[in-house]
Amino acid sequence: MWELFNAGGPIMWPLLALAVLAFGIVLERLWSLRRAVIIPSGLTDEVLTLVRGGRIEDSHLQALRGHSALGRVLATVLRERHQAHEVLVGRVEETGRQVVHGLSRWLNTLGTIAIISPLVGLLGTVTGMIRMFLVITEFGVGDATRLAGGIGEALMTTAFGLVVAIPAYILHRYLRGQVQDLAMGLAREASHVVEACEQQVAVKAAA
């Protein structure tokens, strides 16, 4: 394995760094984007109980904000529950955008790795071909060992660049889809609490 890596020349080291970075990002995002962490089961029901009981205090809001991504969104709903519908929805959407931006952390970097890895591999291909032509210029075509070095560098960097890029691209698309699914889940849970808050406000106004 080391012989194959070494045959790729110096361009293999940047490709290895990109592979390690992509692997780290994927592991971190898979751990951070667990649904049980982002949208904890039962949290919305607990908040709805608070809303219907009218027992909402600042300590509840602080606890929600530090609880989870969903808790942060629901804390905004509770804080702004007395505002007009348009204002309430606008502020909840703003918080939702900030939360989703946090969920998308490092995904642009992963996408960039998927794009540039084949280009870095292509750079290795070019340097390998240049090396081969320099050998031909200096020694002619009779020295097969020297020619093989340039050919090996060209082939290995191209292959390794694709080996890095293809999984990175697939996982980038998968994680993007996970973020979108979580964003829809956050919006759905927030809408339940918004409706409950507006119903409570309407009941109090009628009373």
Instruction: Give the residue, 38 or 151, on which the prediction is more confident.
Output: 38
**Do 124 and 11 contact (CB within 8 A), yes or no?**
yes
Share of the chain above pLDDT 70, in %: 84
**CA 186 to centroid of chain Cα atoms:** 17
SS3 of the chain: the string is CHHHHHHCCCCHHHHHHHHHHHHHHHHHHHHHCCHHHHCCCCHHHHHHHHHHHCCCCHHHHHHHHCCCHHHHHHHHHHHCCCCCHHHHHHHHHHHHHHHHHHHCCCHHHHHHHHHHHHHHHHHHHHHHHHHHHHHHHHHCCCCHHHHHHHHHHHHHHHHHHHHHHHHHHHHHHHHHHHHHHHHHHHHHHHHHHHHHHHHHHHHHHHC
Listed by start position, the domains of the chain span: 13-115+163-206
User: Once rounded to an integer, what is the mean pLDDT over residues 150-160?
Assistant: 79
Indicate the pTM of the whole model: 0.85
Residue 135 has pLDDT above 60, yes or no: yes
Give residue 141's pLDDT. 57
Give residue 30's pLDDT. 95
Q: Residue 140's pLDDT band (boundaries 50, 70, 90)? A: low
- Tens-place pLDDT, residues 158-176: 889 999 999 999 999 999 9
Q: Residue 197's pLDDT band (boundaries 50, 70, 90)? A: confident
Residue 1 has pLDDT above 80, yes or no: no
Q: For residue 5, which amino acid is it?
A: F
User: Once rounded to an integer, what is the mean pLDDT over residues 9-23?
Assistant: 92
**Do 106 and 30 contact (CB within 8 A), yes or no?**
no
Give residue 205's pLDDT. 65
Name the nearest CA neighbour of 85 among 203, 167, 191. 191
- Tens-place pLDDT, residues 59-97: 888 888 888 999 999 999 998 888 888 998 999 999 999
